[in-house]
Amino acid sequence: MTVTDQIACLRIELLHIEPRIWRRVEVSLTSSLHALHEVIQTVMHWEGYHLYEFAIGERVYGEPSPEDAAWGHKVYQAKSIRLTALLERGIAEFIYTYDFGDNWQHRVIIESVKPADRGVDYPVYVDGERTAPPEDVGGPSGFTEFVEAMANRRHPEHKDMIRWYGRPFNPVDFGAQTIAANLRELAAKRKGALQAFERSRTPR
């Protein structure tokens, strides 16, 4: 069985917040870290406004910038490494950080590897719990204050938070069906792009 016939079951946990916010997904072992970044953005309802990085051992993967060298910060291209390479190095857990201001750190755990279902397009949402923070809420401490204000009509910042967020906030109902649908859409786009690439390589 080749790696293209296998999938990894991943648990993604948002750190420094209790109760724990987490998601479980199934992705192809051929997925790059950049592709995994897109999956995490989708299942956590992040909007991709900010930079990200994966910390794996002593290396950092993300979107390299000329400014990195000026700061003595070496960043490797996230598109250059796939999950299968991590498994070959014995790595089953790593950290994904999104938005260096709010500093949303996620623990990504490779829970298992199993044969892919040939009738399924990956990635696939499996399950999860609780609503992830909105963009630019101010990190874990800001999110805690946000949740408290949104839950208490008498809180002095309740109306301001409602106005800023645009609607009530439900910390439990995180829209699992919407996440699953959005991930199916992402899987369809990737399948379409792969098929187009394969057609372009076929001699006419």
State residue 197's pLDDT score. Answer: 45
Say whether both 53 and 142 belong to one domain: no
- Residue 115: which CATH number? 3.10.290.30
Q: Which domain holds residue 154?
A: 133-171
Q: Are residues 109 and 161 in the same domain?
A: no
- The number of residues making up the chain comes to 204
Distance CA 42, CA 182 (A): 7
117 and 140 together in one domain: no
Q: Determine the Cα–Cα distance for residues 80 and 93; give it in Å rounded to an integer.
A: 18
Instruction: Tell me, yes or no, whether 107 and 147 share the same domain.
Output: no
User: Within this chain, do residues 94 and 159 fall inside the same structural domain, yes or no?
Assistant: no
Q: What is the pTM of this model?
A: 0.91
* Under 8 Å between Cβ of 110 and 83: yes
Type of residue at 3: V
Those residues of the chain that have pLDDT short of 70 are 1-4, 67-71, 193-204
Do 141 and 51 have their domain in common?
no
pLDDT in tens, 2-35: 556 899 999 999 999 999 999 999 999 999 999 9
Q: How confident is the model at residue 73, as a pLDDT?
A: 76
Within 10 angstroms of residue 99's Cβ, the number of other Cβ atoms is 18
Judge if 46 and 101 occupy the same domain.
yes
Q: What is the DSSP string of 94-156?
A: EEEEE-TTTTEEEEEEEEEEEEPPTT-PSPEEEEEESPPPPTTS-HHHHHHHHHHHHH-TTST
The domain total for the chain is: 2
**Whether residue 62 is found in the same domain as residue 115:** yes
Q: Under a CB-based contact definition with an 8 Å cutoff, are residues 21 and 140 in contact?
A: no
51 and 116 co-located in one domain: yes
- Segment 152-172, tens digit of pLDDT: 999 999 999 999 999 999 999
**Shared-domain flag, residues 33 and 97:** yes
On whether both 69 and 161 belong to a single domain, the answer is: no
Rounded CA-CA distance 181/102 in Å is 27
Pair 53, 154 in one domain: no
